[in-house]
Amino acid sequence: MNPPAPLPPEVLGSASTIRNPYPVYRALQHASPVCYTRLHVASREGRSEPPYVWMLLRHREVLAALRDPTAFCAATPQLREGIPRLMRVRSTRPHRTHLWSLVSEVCSPQRLSALADQIQQIAGALLDTVGRGPVEFMTAYAAPLSTRMMVAALGFPSDDAPLFKPWCEAGVAYSSMPLKERPQALQQFTAYLRQAIAARRAEPADDLLSAMIAADIEGESLPDDEIRGAIAGAVISSSEGSANLLGNMMALLGDRPELWRRAREDRSLVEPIVEEALRYESPMQSFSRVTTRAIVVSGMEIPEGELVDLCCGAANRDPEVFEAPDDFRPERPTNREHLSFGRGSRYCAGAPLIRLVARTTLHAFLDRFPTLGRGAAAPVRQQVARVALGYTSLPLVLG
């Protein structure tokens, strides 16, 4: 079966759609649960032109694919091409599974309990600096908190936290960093991790680095490049995802003063607000996979070896699962059905930590500020990469 006629890349890759993809999602969902398009990216790794990709848009299809990693694989040469070399890890199942379990240990209940106090202290110190009045939320709070919490979670020195922000920017495709500066930043990150690994080999500690160094996977220890890749991936994905969630959540609340007042009086609303923000404006809009065999999805045959985007951003606005999906309703009974962190064996290992940071932030702001509103200047969304939804600048007024 031939694929359907592909959508032109500008349908989903335009700056306006990246800033707000939901009207396009809705139109595509009405037409078909599966669409086919050319990626709106520069060619890389010797490609003569950007590749085509299948897109799954409805909740049921995205959920089924997330639950079937044997058919929709996340670790393939096709996907590794688009990952900075620093962040690549071996694709064989024992290594992927063991690395995932080690990274997940950062978010175990015991470690989260210990991290909660650190995150509260970081949040409090940042808010002491911010004070009342106008603030650019992303640079004053969201970005530094997200970076510092990840540094704390991994056991790196807190004084090194400012170093990580440009390294994280270099690792994401929507960075404002000039393209020629990214290799240098990633080389600096690599050198830092090399030194950190050497220090832990000489003097182990109770942290993720030491656990990776001591790991035994089918009689083999992890090579240093695997450790660096796993650590870099955890730092970049968790810190960027956390910052985007914080910005999206606070922007939504800045437009809803009555909800802010209610949440100050009733803190049982904090967790539903976080979950509804994850559903309504998912910081990660899609997950990339490759088919390992030909598979039929909603009557459409996707051949083996095809790139597939599991569009959780579209799935999270599926009216079959979420009534009035374009309304922000923290108390909706189905808001935890969102797919923003994936599902099944590929569930985001950093999800508990990202949720903890969002809840801690919301409590801290509700404690200090009776009112929250939008600033006079217009906010700025990132508008380069459609995989993420977040602000680069978010002016707020803290009252």
Cα three-residue angle 145-272-248, rounded to 5 degrees: 45
Rg (CA), the chain: 21
133-136, strands of its sheet edge to edge: 133-136, 395-398, 372-374
Q: Which of 35-39, 99-103, 254-258 has the highest mean pLDDT?
A: 254-258
Which pTM was predicted? 0.88
* Helix or strand run (H / E) with residue 309: strand 307-310
For residue 216, the model assigns a pLDDT of 74
Average of per-residue pLDDT across 335-340:
96
For residue 322, the model assigns a pLDDT of 97
Report which residue type is found at 170.
A
For residue 280, the model assigns a pLDDT of 98
Report which residue type is found at 38.
R
**In terms of pLDDT, which residue wins out, 313 or 33?**
313
For residue 45, the model assigns a pLDDT of 44
The least confident of 136-140, 179-183, 365-369 is 179-183
User: Which residues, 6 or more positions from 364, have their beta carbon under 8 angstroms from its beta carbon?
Assistant: 120, 123, 124, 127
For residue 119, the model assigns a pLDDT of 93
Q: Give the C-alpha separation, 368 to 383, whole Å.
A: 32
Average of per-residue pLDDT across 3-26:
80
Which residues in 154-186 are b (16+ Cβ under 10 Å) and which e?
bebeeeebebbbbbbbbbbebbeeeeeebeebb
Residue 149: closest CA among 349, 348, 341, 360: 360
Convert the pLDDT of each residue in 281-291 to its tens digit. Answer: 999 999 999 99
| Structure-token pair, residue 54 | 């299948």
Q: Give the C-alpha separation, 316 to 282, whole Å.
A: 8
Convert the pLDDT of each residue in 114-155 to its tens digit. Answer: 889 999 999 999 999 998 999 999 999 999 999 998 888 888
Phi-psi map region of 146: left, alpha, beta (phi>0 left; psi -120 to 50 alpha): alpha
**In terms of pLDDT, which residue wins out, 299 or 218?**
299
Please check the confidence at residue 87 and state whether its pLDDT lies above 60: no
Q: Give the C-alpha separation, 354 to 334, whole Å.
A: 20
Task: Sketch out the chain's domains with CATH numbers.
Answer: 10-398 (1.10.630.10)
Average of per-residue pLDDT across 247-255:
98
pLDDT, averaged across the chain: 86
Average of per-residue pLDDT across 227-234:
83
For residue 44, the model assigns a pLDDT of 44
For residue 373, the model assigns a pLDDT of 97
Which residue's entry shows tokens 């390294």?
A: 167
